[in-house]
Amino acid sequence: MFITLTAQSQCYSLQLNNNYPQFHLPKKPQFLRIKISKKWRCSSSSKQPQQQQNQPKKEEESSTSEKRADPVGFLTRLGITHKAFSQFLRERHKAYKNRKDEIFQRFMNLKELASGYELLGMHRHPQHRVDFMEWAPGARYCALVGDFNNWSPVENAAREGHLGHDDYGYWFVILDDKLRDGEEADDLYFQQYNYVDDYDKGDTVSIDEAFQRANDEYWEPGEDRYLNNRYEVASKLYEQIFGPNGPQTLEELEELPDAETRYKAYREQHKDKPPEFFRYDVIDSGKEYDIYNVVDDPISREKFRNMKPPLAYWFETRKGRKAWMKKYSPCIPHGSKYRVYFNTPDGALERVPAWATYVLPDVEGDQPCAVHWEPPPESAHKWRNKQPAVPKSLRIYECHIGISGLEPTITSFNDFTEKTLPFIKHLGYNAVQLFGVIEHKDYYTAGYRVTNMYAVSSRYGTPEDFKHLIDEAHGLGLLVFLDVVHSYAAADEMIGLSHFDGTNDCYFHTGKRGQHKYWGTRMFKYGDVDVLQYLLSNLNWWVEEYQIDGFQFHSLSSMIYTHNGFASFTGELGEYCNQYVDRDALMYLIMANDILHALHPNIITIAEDATYYPGLCEPTSQGGLGFDYYVNLSASEMWLDFIENVPDDKWSMSKIVTTLMGSKLHADKMLLYAENHNQSISGAKSFAEILFGNIEEQSLESTDLFLRGTSLHKLIRLITFTIGGRAYLNFMGNEFGHPKRVEFPTASNDFSMESANRRWDLLMEQGIHFDLFAFDQDMMKMDERERVLSRGLLNVHHVNDDTMVISYMRGPLLFIFNFHPTKSYEGYYVGVEEAGEYQIVLNTDEKKYGGRDIVHREQYLQRSIRKRIDGLQDCLQVPLPSRTAQVYKLSRILRT
Strand ranges of the sheet holding 865-869, from the earlier edge strand across to the other edge? 825-832, 872-880, 865-869
CA angle, 247 as apex, 241 and 252 as ends, to 5°?
125
- Tell me which DSSP letter residue 386 carries: P
CB 710 within 8 A of CB 661: no
The contacts of residue 609 (CB under 8 Å, 6+ apart) are: 555, 556, 557, 560, 616, 630, 631
Amino acid at 677: H
What does residue 613 show for φ and ψ, rounded to 5 degrees?
-55, 135
What does residue 680 show for φ and ψ, rounded to 5 degrees?
-110, -15
**Which 3-state string (H, E, C) describes 126-157?**
CCCEEEEEEECCCCCEEEEEECCCCCCCCCCE
The contacts of residue 522 (CB under 8 Å, 6+ apart) are: 488, 489, 490, 491, 496, 497, 498, 507, 508, 514, 515, 516
Considering 316, 398, 472, 608, which one is annotated as catalytic? 608
**Of 566, 571, 486, residue with least CA distance to 531:** 486
Q: Which residues pair with 865 in a beta bridge?
A: 875
Buried b (16+ CB within 10 A) or exposed e, 376-407: eeeeebeeeeebbebbebbbbbbbbbbbbbee
β 825-832/872-880 pair status: antiparallel
CB 504 within 8 A of CB 472: no
CB 10 within 8 A of CB 222: no
Q: How far is CA 447 from CA 8, 252, 420, 443, 532, in A?
A: 67, 85, 20, 7, 22
CB 546 within 8 A of CB 455: no
**Of 329, 341, 337, 325, residue with least CA distance to 176:** 329
Buried b (16+ CB within 10 A) or exposed e, 119-132: ebbbebeebbbbbb
**Of 533, 481, 484, residue with least CA distance to 111:** 533
Give yes or no: 644 in active site: no
β 670-672/604-607 pair status: unpaired
Buried b (16+ CB within 10 A) or exposed e, 485-501: bbbbbbbbebbbbbbbb
- Taking the C-alpha atoms of residue 706 and residue 714, their distance in angstroms, rounded to an integer, is 12
- Taking the C-alpha atoms of residue 552 and residue 555, their distance in angstroms, rounded to an integer, is 9
CA angle, 119 as apex, 538 and 507 as ends, to 5°?
50
The contacts of residue 27 (CB under 8 Å, 6+ apart) are: 10, 233, 236, 237, 240
CB 894 within 8 A of CB 874: no
User: What is the maximum span of the chain, computed from C-alpha positions, in angstroms?
Assistant: 126
DSSP assignments along 215-256, one per residue: HHHHPPTTTTHHHHSTTHHHHHHHHHHH-TT---STTTPPPP
- 276-278-282-286 Cα dihedral, nearest 10 degrees: -120
Q: How far apart are the first and last CA of the chain?
A: 81
Q: Which residues are catalytic?
A: 608
